Structure 1
Amino acid sequence: MEPTPIITSPLTPEDFAALSRAKEALESPTLTMKLASVIGAPIEKLMGRLPGAAQEKIDEATQLALKKCLQIALRTLGKGASAGSLLAPPPDKPSNLLHKLAVATTGAAGGAFGLFALPVELPVTTTLMFRSICDIARSEGEDVHRVDTQLQCLMVLGMGGTRRDDDNADLGYFIVRGALAQSVSRATSEITTKGLAGHGSTALLKFLQTIASRFSVQVSEQVAAKSVPAIGAVLGAMVNTVFIDHFQQMAHGHFTVRRLERQYGTAAVERAYQTIEVMGGR
């Protein structure tokens, strides 16, 4: 019996080029490196100068921000394109620049008021980033009314954020994605089974905690970048622009891979992905 074509068919040159761009985005320099290049100072050193209570405030703000995004996700499920701007008919391309400008505005406020602005700024910034990720997912053919797609969008916020002592810190996209996939699957199953009543399920809460623990690492780096004395509104806006651009790149890469997997199968895409060499990666 011949193998199934969808699994064995090689990617077209156009799709292989798309996969190459996706890998470049997913394996691009870390947020730490990107922020350091903008502010001209090592992020690790700045993080060491944060007040002792800063991490607790960051963790609390991160949890609040992700819960707000989850509420948006649950409200949109199954409602169709008339449910609001998040579910508007997809444009030819995602509105990356529009979302960047909006996040830059919140960053200007954060730069002016520092850590004190975090509980107000971060939920707004994260919601805007979540909308941008959904926009990117839709542009790659995803149905944003599906539970799985919404959770995949949230998962993007947890991709690339690892503690310094995390054994998975230097692992590739497919390994990190695989580590998060089980919690996504369990949460999707509970919401699908229980409907919106499942929003307080153990699986969903565990998923949210997993994403929050990873996302807070990168929020900490963002806060540290804004801790530069007299950073001001302009540099605060620049830091936020780098922040959302990082996650937009991750979203483009992730949802391009998923689009190609729907066409060629996961195994074929992963094999092709592993053959691509990326310059200047992590």
Structure 2
Amino acid sequence: MTQSAPVLPPLTPATEAEIAALSRRARQAGGPLMKVISFAGSRAEGLMAHIPDAMRTRIEDATAFGLRRCYSAANMARSSTRLPASGKHGHRIAAVLSGGAGGLGGLPSAVVELPATVSIFFAAIQKVAVEYGFDPNDEAVRLECLRVFGSGTPFEEDDGVNTAFLASRLAMTGIGAQGMIATIAPRLAAVLSQKLAAQTVPVLGAVTGATVNLAFITYYQELAHVRFGLLKLAKAHPEGEVMQAFRAAGAKALR
């Protein structure tokens, strides 16, 4: 006899308030610094347009390599007793140092720095997942961490990557994870191109690279808080109601 799934309780006013807070957090994720970087990156697109195709390929390859490496290795780094605890701001400090080092030599060194930066971002996202009670050793949770990179904003319509939840998705391993990385890598490479555009000036790029990395890691951490906050609520309440309330809160804010 098949055991029926438990009936989850409907949303309470307290839960709806928590969802509204996550909605506000999503809207504010970019922050003023990210908006400035986005503007600067768009203004620098002329520089990126003159980059040879071979360098563009290197950027996407470096991004894909970083995603593959962080997916397989970041969890091992987290659980290693030989590594110091990252602390509250450890990942942000690491991102700043990585960005500074990458920007020091202009675009060539910035591209070399990309895999390290992506790995730091991923580890920071994993740490957020732990805060909400998720186990980063779980394959499905690590996939959700990857999805943060491809989500853009949770207000987008669900395309199978953005707002789908653990509860309603088949577990993916191996080839499935590699397929997701292949899908996310071009998107993330396009986003990180703005970061690289701001790091094209040697020496000055070191200062810019550090600042840009700080903005990016803060942005992805905020998206991770929203994503895993919603995931946690979706385990205790009907998933459809959680997302309906989240989108309603976002629509209300735009009125």
Give TM class, smaller chain.
0.7 to 0.9
Deviations 1:227-282 (A, max 9, x none): 3576342222111100111101110110000011111120121121122147988x
Q: Which residue of 1 aligns with 2:221?
A: 248
- Identity value in percent: 24
2:135 partner SS: coil
Do 1:95 and 1:132's aligned partners in 2 also have CA atoms closer than 8 Å? no
Cα distance between partner residues in 1 of 2:66 and 2:253? 32
Q: Structure 2: give runs of 5+ residues left out of the alignment.
A: 1-5
Q: Which residue of 1 aligns with 2:3?
A: none
Q: Go from structure 1 to structure 2 and tell me whether the alpha carbon gap of 1:29 and 1:145 turns closer, same or farther (over 3 Å shift).
A: closer
Q: Read off the aligned partner of 1:44 and give its amino acid letter.
A: S
Cα distance between partner residues in 2 of 1:74 and 1:135? 10
CA apart distance, 1:158? 1.5
Cα distance between partner residues in 2 of 1:130 and 1:86? 19
Q: Structure 1: give runs of 5+ residues left out of the alignment.
A: 162-170, 192-198
Moved more, 108-117 or 272-281: 272-281
Do 1:112 and 1:233's aligned partners in 2 also have CA atoms closer than 8 Å? yes
Do 2:75 and 2:136's aligned partners in 1 also have CA atoms closer than 8 Å? no
Deviations 1:99-136 (A, max 9, x none): 11110001111221121113431111111111111110
Cα distance between partner residues in 2 of 1:86 and 1:276? 44
- Equivalent residue in structure 2 for 1:130, among 119, 122, 133: 122
CA apart distance, 1:96? 5.0
After the TM superposition, which residues 159-170 of structure 1 pair with which residues of structure 2 at under 5 Å, given as runs?
A: 159-160=151-152
Corresponding pairs, count: 244
Do 1:86 and 1:135's aligned partners in 2 also have CA atoms closer than 8 Å? no
Cα distance between partner residues in 1 of 2:191 and 2:43? 15
Deviations 1:21-75 (A, max 9, x none): 32223344659x8445158x54223122122334222101101111111221675
Q: Read off the aligned partner of 1:99 and give its amino acid letter.
A: H
Q: Read off the aligned partner of 2:11 and give its amino acid letter.
A: P
Cα distance between partner residues in 1 of 2:163 and 2:23? 18
1:70 and 2:71 correspond: yes
Superposed CA RMSD in Å reads 3.5
Provide TM-score, normalisation by structure 1: 0.73
Segments of 4+ in structure 1 off by > 4 A?
73-76, 85-88, 176-182, 278-281
Do 1:69 and 1:127's aligned partners in 2 also have CA atoms closer than 8 Å? yes
Do 1:159 and 1:177's aligned partners in 2 also have CA atoms closer than 8 Å? no
Q: Which residue of 1 aligns with 2:188?
A: 215
Do 1:65 and 1:127's aligned partners in 2 also have CA atoms closer than 8 Å? yes
Q: Go from structure 1 to structure 2 and tell me whether the alpha carbon gap of 1:56 and 1:213 turns closer, same or farther (over 3 Å shift).
A: same
